[in-house]
Amino acid sequence: MSTRSITHIHEAVTGKEEIVCSFYRHCNGEPEGHGKDLAEWLAGKRLVDGIDIDFVEGRDFNHAGTMAVPLMAHIQNISSVKVIPTGAKGYGEEYTYNVYFRDNKFVVKVV
């Protein structure tokens, strides 16, 4: 049996926390699977508002939507994912993950 999950990526750099991207993962959606995969990939990464001299490709992302693309590609290499309408629910998910960037680090909240 598959453990399904939905992940919502929230924009935070502008101070306005709104969902900018959502994706669905069909299996391994439990915290020991998907939650761990998210935490490991997000570790050491950060969101910025614009590209400046300190910008490091692969570590820094110019806003949350830009970060969501390589994150989804990484998860796709582990287990299939698909982009769903922003903020969607009702896909049979057992877990919902919300990814925020607060105090210069990523925070993942699971419901």
What are the residue boundaries of the structural domains of the chain, listed by start?
5-110
**Mean pLDDT (whole number) for 33-60:** 94
CA–CA gap between residue 36 and residue 17 (Å, rounded) = 23
Query: What is the per-residue pLDDT across 63-73, written as a single tens digit (0 to 9) for each?
Result: 999 999 999 99
- Does residue 103 surpass a pLDDT of 90? no
- Does residue 39 surpass a pLDDT of 80? yes
Across the beta sheet with 105-110, the strand order is 81-84, 18-25, 5-11, 95-102, 105-110
Is-above-0.85 flag for pTM? yes
Percent of the chain with pLDDT over 90: 87
CA–CA gap between residue 79 and residue 72 (Å, rounded) = 10
- Does residue 15 surpass a pLDDT of 90? no
